[in-house]
A and B are shown apart, each in its own frame.
Chain A
Amino acid sequence: MNFSISDDHQMLKDSAQVFLNQQISLKPLLSPGATVRDAGYAANWAKIAEMGWPGLLIPEEYGGAGLSCIDLVMIVEELGRTLTPSPFLGTLLGTLAVMKGGDATLKTRILPKVAVGEIALALAAAEEGGREDGSDRTQATERGGAWRLTGRKAFVIDAAEAQMLVVTARAGDRGARRLFLVDAKQAGVEVAIEPWRDITRQICTVTLTGAEAELLSEGGDDLWPWVRDRALLALSAENAAGLRHVLDVTADYARQRVAFGRPIGAFQAIKHALADMLGQAECARTATLYAAWALSQEDPRARLAAAMAKAYSADAYVEAAHRSIQIFGAIGFTWEMPNHLYLKRARGNAELFGASREHRSRVIDLARAELAA
C-alpha cells in the first residue's frame, strides 16, 4: 500500500509537461471561426508520434513501450491539461480494441505501424443518441468468411484522421455487440467532420455502406467492456487534469485581479468557490489514479473504479469550468479567452462514452453486487 506516485511515473509526467508546454499553443483557436485544424491538429500528431506516445500501451513484441494504465494517465493528464488537439485519443481507443480483440496476425499487421505513428486509428461505437452501451443498429453480415458493415456511427473521435477504424456492430438481429476493423479509405466508408463545439477535438460521423470489415475475434464478451473501461479512464484523466488547470489559472487570476481595493480572492464568495474547486480536483484525481491502478492490475473493482472516475470527474470538470468563467467575470465569457475551450472540452467529455447518470446507474449495480458478496 503506497498511495504516492512513483518517481518513474512523475518523471514521465514531468517530461510530457515540458514537451507540451513548448509545443502546444491554443492561440490560433482564440479567434472566432477557428476549427480544430487551426491548432496544429495534424502537426501535433507528428510530434507526439516522435515521442513514442502512440505506442505507450502496445506490447514490446509489437513495437510499443508495453507500459501500464498508470503510465498512460501521466501522459493523458498532460494532454488534457493543455487541450492538445491531435488524434491521440482516437488512436488510443482503436489501439486498445486491436490489442484486446485482434488475433496475433492482425496485431502484427497493425500495431507496429501505430506505434511509430505511421497510421492513426479511431473507435466508432456510438450511434445517433450517443449511448455507447445502447444497441447498435449498424449491421454486420458475413458471406464466406468475409464481413461487411452497413450503418451509421456517430460522435466518433478522430475518425477523419484515421486510416483504420474499429467499428461496433451487431451480427443478426439479436447478436451480441461485435467489434470490427475497417479500412477507412475504402469506397464504402464516408467520414464527415461535425461542427462539434469543442474545437480542440475532432468529432465525426461515419457512414458505412457494405464496407469490408475484419472481425476482432478475441476477447469474447468482455472485449467491449474492457475497451470501454479504458476509454473511461482516458477521459477521466483528461477531466481531472483539465479541472486542476482551470483551478490553477482561476486562482492566479483571483490573486491578481483587484476590485474594491483588494484582490478578488480575498472575498469569501470567491475564496470559498476556489476551495470547493480544490476539493473537486483532489477527488477527481484520486478517483482517476485509483481506476488507473485497478485497471492496470485487472483488479475485481476495476470496472466500478472506471465508472466512478468518469462520473465524478466529468461532472466536477463541467462545474469547475463554468465557475472559472464566473470568477473571471465577463472577460471569461469571451472567445478570446481560453476559458470556454475548457468548458467545451468538459461538456463534450461529459457526454462521450456515456453520460454520468448512466455510469452512476452501473455503479449502483456493481456496488450492490459487491455488497451482496
Chain B
Amino acid sequence: MDFELPKEDDPRRLEVRAWFAARPRPTGRQLAEAGYATPHWPKPWGLEADAELQLIIDEEMKRAGVTAPNLINPVAVNNCAQSLLTQGTDAQRERFLTPAIAGEEIWCMLFSEPAGGSDLGALRTTARREGDHYVVNGQKIWTSLAHKAKVGVLVARTDPEAPKHAGLSQFLIDMDTPGITVRPIIDLSGHENEYNEVFFEDVIVPADRLVGQEGEGWAISMRQLQTERVALSKPGAIWGAGPSARELIAGLDKVGALDDPLVRDEAAAIYIEGEILRLLAYRSLSDRMNAKAPGPEGAVRKMLAAPHGQRVVDLAKRAQGPRGMMVGEQAFPPTPGRKGAYDDWDYAFWFSPAVTLGVGTQEILKNVVGERMLGMPRELDPSAKVPWNQGQAARRGEQAA
C-alpha cells in the first residue's frame, strides 16, 4: 500500500506536459485522438491508462488551463458512452464515440420523469416498435444539457406487459428529431437553466439506435448511474467540481474568519472530510485501474461527497454575513485560473441543494448502501413484480376510489 502520487519529474508527466506545451489550445478532437479525453478506455479511444496516468493527465490538463472533456460532455464521457464499448454495435461505436468524447456532440440523459425520479423503474414514456423504427411518446424532466445536446440517451418502456424494470430499453436519439420539445426549468438559483423538461410526441427513432437488447434498459442505466457516482466523488463541492475544502480554508484565512474558534473548528472538520474524500476518490481510480466494475462503493462516496460539498459552500456563505444574501456577492475571490460555473462561490451555494437530489437522492443512496453493502432488507415495492400495465390500472383504480 502506498499513497505516493506521481512526482513532478515523473517521465509520463513530462510527456503529457510536453504534449500540452506543443498544443496550447487543443481542440476536443485532438484531445480525443491523443486518448486524453477518456484515458482509461481501450484503444483507439483511450490509452488503457492506469490510475496514475489518469491522475497525471487530469492534473496536466488543469495546469494547461484546458477544460476537461468530462466537464464539457459529462453525460457521454462519465456515464453513457462507455456502454457502447460493451453493449453497442460496431456501427454505433463508429457513429457516436469519437464525436462524443471530442465534445463535438453533447449528450444528455433522458432518464427521470415526473412519475419516475427516485423510482426510475416507474417511468411511463413508451417506445413502440413499428417495423424498422420505434415511436416514442412521453415526457422527461430534470434533464441537464438537453438544450445543448445533439444526442439523447433515452430510457423508455418497450414492453408494458413486463414488470416495471424488465420492460425498459435504452436508445440513442437525435435531439433534433421532429416531435421533441425542450423547455427550460429555472431552478431556485435563478441562474441560466441547468435543467429542462423534454416532451416526446410521436418521435421516430430508427431501430438501430437501440442500445443492447430490448429489456436491458434498466441494467444498462443502473451501470451508467453507478459510473457517475464514482465520477462525481471528487473533492469539489458541486458534482466534484467547483471550490474544494482547501479553497475554503484559504478563503476563510484571507478574510480573517479562522480567528473565530467556532469557525476554525468547523472549518477544520470540513477540511478533514475533504482530504479523506480526496483519498477515497483516488481509491476509486485505483479500483477502475483494476478493471473492477463500478459497484455500490460509488454510492457510499457520493453519499459522503454531496453533503460535504454543501457544508463547504455553506460555511463560506455564512462567513459573509448579511452581504451573502446579495445577488452575486462572492464569499472569496474566485481561485485564479478557475472559470467553471461552479467556481463562482455564490452560485455554488445557491445551486448546492441539487447535489443531494441529482443522480440518486441522498435517501435513495442510503437505501442502496444499506441494502447492497450491509444486507438490509429491500424496500417494499408492491409494483415491482406485476406487469407494468396492470400496476398502472390498479393505481388508477385506487385514485378513483
Binding site for B on A (CB under 8 A): 1-6, 9, 70, 247, 251, 254-255, 262-263, 265-266, 268, 270-272, 274-276, 278-279, 282-283, 286-287, 289-290, 293-294, 308, 311-312, 357, 360-361, 363-364, 367-368, 371
Min CB distance A186 to B, Å, is 43
Residues of B within 8 A of A290 (CB): 3, 279
Also in contact, A2 and B1, with CB within 8 A (given A286-B283, A360-B272, A367-B246): yes
Return 17 A-B CB contacts under 8 Å, by A number: A1-B4, A254-B376, A266-B378, A268-B366, A270-B376, A274-B374, A275-B373, A278-B374, A286-B276, A286-B279, A287-B275, A290-B3, A290-B279, A308-B272, A357-B265, A360-B264, A364-B268
* Distance in angstroms between the alpha carbons of A311 and B279 in the assembled complex: 17
Also in contact, A283 and B1, with CB within 8 A (given A271-B370, A274-B374, A274-B376): no
Task: Given contact pairs A255-B377, A286-B276, A368-B258, enumerate 20 new A-B contacts (beta carbons under 8 Å).
Answer: A1-B51, A262-B377, A265-B376, A266-B376, A266-B378, A268-B367, A274-B374, A275-B366, A276-B366, A278-B369, A279-B300, A286-B279, A286-B283, A287-B272, A290-B3, A294-B3, A308-B272, A360-B264, A363-B272, A364-B249
User: Which residue from B2, B267, B276, B367 sits with its C-beta under 8 Å from A271?
Assistant: B367
**B258-293, CB under 8 A of A: which get 1 and which 0?**
100100110111011101100110110010001000
Question: What secondary structure prevails in chain B residues at the interface with A?
Answer: helix
Q: How many A-B contacts at CB < 8 Å in the complex?
A: 144
Also in contact, A3 and B275, with CB within 8 A (given A70-B1, A268-B363, A275-B303): no
Residues of B within 8 A of A263 (CB): 376-377
Residues of B within 8 A of A311 (CB): 268-269, 272
Residues of B within 8 A of A251 (CB): 374-376
Residue B207 is within 8 A (CB to CB) of chain A in the complex: no
Residues of B within 8 A of A371 (CB): 246, 249-250, 253
User: Which residue from B1, B272, B370, B380 sits with its C-beta under 8 Å from A3?
Assistant: B1
Most chain B CB within 10 A, of A274, A275, A361, A371, is at: A275
Residues of A within 8 A of B261 (CB): 361
Q: Is the CB of B376 within 8 A of A293?
A: no
Q: Is the CB of B279 within 8 A of A3?
A: yes
Residues of A within 8 A of B379 (CB): 266, 268
Residue on B nearest A286 in the bound complex, by CB: B279
Residue on B nearest A359 in the bound complex, by CB: B268
Task: Give the residues from 43 to 73 in chain B that come closer than 8 angstroms, CB to CB, to chain A.
Answer: 51-52, 55
**B286-308, CB under 8 A of A: which get 1 and which 0?**
10001000000000100110000
Residues of B within 8 A of A368 (CB): 249, 253, 258
Q: Is the CB of B265 within 8 A of A271?
A: no
Q: Which 7 residue pairs are nearest across A and B when measured between Cβ atoms?
A: A360-B268, A271-B370, A265-B376, A275-B369, A266-B377, A275-B366, A272-B366
Residues of B within 8 A of A282 (CB): 280, 300, 304
Q: Is the CB of B370 within 8 A of A275?
A: yes
Residues of B within 8 A of A247 (CB): 374
Residues of A within 8 A of B378 (CB): 266
Residue B6 is within 8 A (CB to CB) of chain A in the complex: yes
Binding site for A on B (CB under 8 A): 1-6, 51-52, 55, 246, 249-250, 253, 258, 261, 264-265, 267-269, 271-273, 275-276, 279-280, 282-283, 286, 290, 300, 303-304, 363, 365-367, 369-371, 373-380
Most chain A CB within 10 A, of B6, B51, B370, B379, is at: B370
Residues of A within 8 A of B271 (CB): 363-364, 367
* Distance in angstroms between the alpha carbons of A2 and B6 in the assembled complex: 11
Residues of A within 8 A of B272 (CB): 287, 308, 311-312, 360, 363
* Distance in angstroms between the alpha carbons of A213 and B4 in the assembled complex: 41
Min CB distance B9 to A, Å, is 15
Residues of B within 8 A of A367 (CB): 246, 249, 268, 271
* Distance in angstroms between the alpha carbons of A274 and B380 in the assembled complex: 18
User: Which residue from A6, A272, A289 sits with its C-beta under 8 Å from B370?
Assistant: A272
Also in contact, A287 and B276, with CB within 8 A (given A276-B366, A364-B271): yes
Residues of B within 8 A of A283 (CB): 273, 276, 280, 304
Residues of B within 8 A of A364 (CB): 249, 258, 264, 267-268, 271
* Distance in angstroms between the alpha carbons of A4 and B51 in the assembled complex: 12
Most chain B CB within 10 A, of A6, A286, A311, A368, is at: A286
